Amino acid sequence: MKHEQAAYLAPGLADAGGQVAQLRQVLALVEELAGRVPAPARGAGLDQAARISDHYARALPIDQRRFDLHAADTARWAAVGLEALLQIEERGRPCAAAARALAERLSRALAELERTVRA
C-alpha cells in the first residue's frame, strides 16, 4: 500500500488569490458531495481572487504571514476532509451531512482569509 501525501498550500508557494481560488474549487467539490448544485460563479471567483491578491499586496507583513498560515492550515484540513468524504462516498455510505458541515466551515474560513488582509 502506497501512501501519498495530499497536496496542500504552503506559504510562499502560490499567490493569495491563487490560494483562495484553489480553496473555492475544493468548496465546489464539497458542495457537490453535499448534494448542492454550486451556482455558476460568473467570474465571482476570479473577482474575489483578484481582490484578495490586491489586498494581500498592500497588507502589512504580519497580516500577510497570518494569511499564509491560515490559508495553509485551511488547505490541509480541507484536503483531509475532502479525502474522507470521497472515501465514504466510494463505500456507498451517506456523506451529505458531513459534506454540508465541511462546506459551511470552508466558507467561513474563506471569509476569514479575506478579512485578514482587507485594509
Domain boundaries, given as residue ranges, for the chain: 16-117
What is the spatial distance between Cα 114 and Cα 83, in angstroms, rounded to a whole number? 25
pLDDT, residue 40, reads 59
pLDDT, residue 118, reads 87
pLDDT, residue 7, reads 45
pLDDT in tens, 1-60: 344 444 444 444 458 999 999 999 999 999 999 998 766 555 666 778 888 999 999 999
Interior CA angle at 7 toward 6 and 9, to 5°?
135
pLDDT in tens, 69-91: 999 999 999 999 999 999 999 99
Asked whether the whole model's pTM tops 0.85, one would answer no
